[in-house]
Amino acid sequence: GAGVSQSPSNKVTEKGKDVELRCDPISGHTALYWYRQRLGQGLEFLIYFQGNSAPDKSGLPSDRFSAERTGESVSTLTIQRTQQEDSAVYLCASSLFGANSGNTIYFGEGSWLTVV
Amino acid sequence: DAKTTQPPSMDCAEGRAANLPCNHSTISGNEYVYWYRQIHSQGPQYIIHGLKNNETNEMASLIITEDRKSSTLILPHATLRDTAVYYCIVRVGIQGAQKLVFGQGTRLTINP
């Protein structure tokens, strides 16, 4: 498709289970971002991938969170041993290399995660 | 932390121009100003961005002051569908760290 695609769009999981969220960036976009937004809150940066450079993981809230990216394509955000406070919408975004060069960042519609 | 300051909320009458201010007094010379909006739990929607010059597209205009310490997003003829949270963002970080840092934004309500 033309935009950033995320799956699943909705996920309900039991506390303690692991979840995987997938992001397909726009074709050709080398930069990929993950954000989290809790209900009624702002967007929290989680992680950023750029080509073959080491990812910026500075926003990951705990070691239960991890993310991988295969080359310049699909990314997977994994949350292990989910907790109720992990309930949020997880947003993925992509852009051509670096917004410092003025490249627009496009967001997907998010994956809604509910931990019960 | 976000490098921008925005009013938490604003109201505007339908059909009038909505002017949303943003302060970014610590902006660096190579940092762009971006505007996004988020309509009720949807993914943030790109509106416009600029570096030094004023910019205009089909959605909005962006006016950046000469010293680049503040900017204004203008929606020329606001409609009810423009009700959303509007985020003004300045890119932060060093080479290789290109993340967007979102503040709390401005909740714009368009009134009929």
Cis amide bond preceding A8, omega within 30: yes
Return averaged pLDDT per consecutive 10 residues of chain A, 116 residues in all.
90 98 93 92 90 88 94 93 97 78 84 97
- Write down the residue that tokens 């949020």 correspond to: A88
| Per-residue pLDDT tens digits for B69-83 | 999 999 999 999 999
CA distance B13 to A21: 40
> Which residue of chain A comes nearest to B28, CA vs CA?
A100
> Which among B46, B51, B93 is the nearest to A106, CB-wise?
B46
For chain B, what is the radius of gyration of the CA atoms? 14
CA distance B50 to B96: 20
A35 CB neighbours in chain B (<8 A) are 102
A45 CB neighbours in chain B (<8 A) are 99-102
